Amino acid sequence: MHHAPGALEVDSLTKRYGTQVALDGMSFSVSPGEVFGFVGSNGAGKTTTMRIAVGVLDTDRGEVRWRGKPVDAESHAVIGYMPEERGLYPKMTVARHLVYLAQLHGLSRADAVTAMQTWTERLGVDKYRDRTVDSLSLGNQQRVQLAAALVHDPQVLLLDEPFSGLDPLAVDTMSAVLREKAAEGVPVLFSSHQLDLVERLCDRIGIVRSGTTVACGSVEELRARGSAGVYVEIDGAPDDWASGVAGVEAHRPEGSGTVVHLNTEADETELVRRALSVGRLRTFQRRQPTLTELFRSYVAAEPHDAGEHENGNGNGNEPEHPGKARKRARRGKREKVTA
Ligand SMILES: Nc1ncnc2c1ncn2[C@@H]1O[C@H](COP(=O)(O)OP(=O)(O)OP(=O)(O)O)[C@@H](O)[C@H]1O
């Protein structure tokens, strides 16, 4: 785990709803200046983690620290939070809403008005200032919701699926704002199921499963730990030419070739030998896994909605190799995930 001064540290959170385990040793940290992507399948515990960090929900065990101290009412006030349930008052105008929220966080009326003007312009909703929230389209309501998380100049940003339902231009604006806040030294955490976006935007990523962090690192670090892939083109070879080669996990057709996924026990020399023996070998190219492929390998074993959660790796601090997750996946039933 990182311990940069000023980091937001989520340390071994445990949370149950009745018998339902929502968090099971959730741990990770977000450094100042870092955009951290929080990904995991539905019900993995992302919203619960954020709600605990912002103080709207209590944890059973573990703690969240900011600047080395457990978060309390004072630090909650400096967090900008965009909740999943989008808590805007539908009948209030956009301007009144944002000024009210900024004042609630301690800004003077004049500063609150300035902040409202700045953020509505920046997020392209200034023309709707005098409209009630419920008269806006969902995407515009979402822009206002982001403005609401930003008007009080937060020192930590926690955003629950801020990109869902946004048009491509709004995605660009939202991305730019998150990078900008990070550049100011703010730790920025957001959850998303849009993995291409996460891959592009984030400095680091935490993949969660069943209430615990199963992998954490930059995309490059996670890729290096993931299983290798090879793209192969062979004239005249049958589709299943790689079957039976040690360490071959899967192979699927792509274009005029085949993508072969290898696990850590794979013998690449044997694969090359086989490739040469089945036809005229034209291409043999190593491939890094995409974030979507990594996601699938890490969360495949998730027993969600089972009422009980498997503990990922004991402490949630050390990333687990996808190979282990795959072994569990072979034992347990495979779950469909939204990637
Ligand atoms: N109020 C609640 N009462 C009972 N169970 C709950 C409650 N809120 C969440 N849970 C359960 O806790 C677990 C974690 O839910 P959470 O909303 O944190 O997941 P998530 O990762 O944010 O999912 P999603 O991607 O679908 O938003 C789930 O199993 C969920 O059913």
Atom of ligand 1 nearest to the CA of 45: 18
| Closest protein CA for atom 27 of ligand 1 | 42
The preferred substitution site among 46, 57, 163, 309 for testing ligand 1, maximizing ligand atoms within 8 Å of CB, is 46
Helix (H) or strand (E) run with residue 81 in it: strand 79-82
For residue 301, pLDDT over 70 is answered with: no
The preferred substitution site among 39, 42, 158 for testing ligand 1, maximizing ligand atoms within 8 Å of CB, is 42
* Residue 63: φ, ψ to 5°: -150, 165
This model of the complex carries an ipTM of: 0.96
Domain boundaries, the chain: 8-222, 227-288
For residue 338, pLDDT over 70 is answered with: no
Helical H segments across the chain, by residue range:
46-53, 73-76, 94-104, 109-122, 138-150, 168-183, 195-201, 219-225, 268-278, 291-299, 322-331
Residue type, 137: S
282: left (phi over 0), alpha (psi -120 to 50) or beta: alpha
CATH number of 227-288: 3.30.70
The whole-number average pLDDT for the span 189-209 is: 94
Helix (H) or strand (E) run with residue 189 in it: strand 188-191
Cβ atoms of 35 and 61 closer than 8 Å = no
Q: 83 CA to middle of ligand 1, Å?
A: 13
Place of tokens 């006030």: 77
Helix (H) or strand (E) run with residue 148 in it: helix 138-150
Least confident range from 146-155, 239-248, 256-265: namely: 256-265
CA atoms within 13 A on the CB side of 23: 26
Could you tell me the two tokens for 213? 């962090």
- DSSP 8-state class, residue 110: H
The preferred substitution site among 14, 28, 47 for testing ligand 1, maximizing ligand atoms within 8 Å of CB, is 47
124: left (phi over 0), alpha (psi -120 to 50) or beta: left
Helical H segments across 184-259, by residue range:
195-201, 219-225
Atom of ligand 1 nearest to the CA of 49: 18
More confident: 97 or 321:
97
Ligand 1, pocket residues at CB < 6 Å: 17, 20, 22, 40, 42-48, 84
Same fold, 8-222 and 227-288: no
Q: What is the pLDDT of residues 119-147, one digit of tens each?
A: 999 999 999 999 999 999 989 999 999 99
Q: 126 CA to middle of ligand 1, Å?
A: 34
For residue 4, pLDDT over 80 is answered with: no
Protein fold of 8-222: Rossmann fold (3.40.50)
Q: 22 CA to middle of ligand 1, Å?
A: 6
Strands 79-82 and 20-30: unpaired
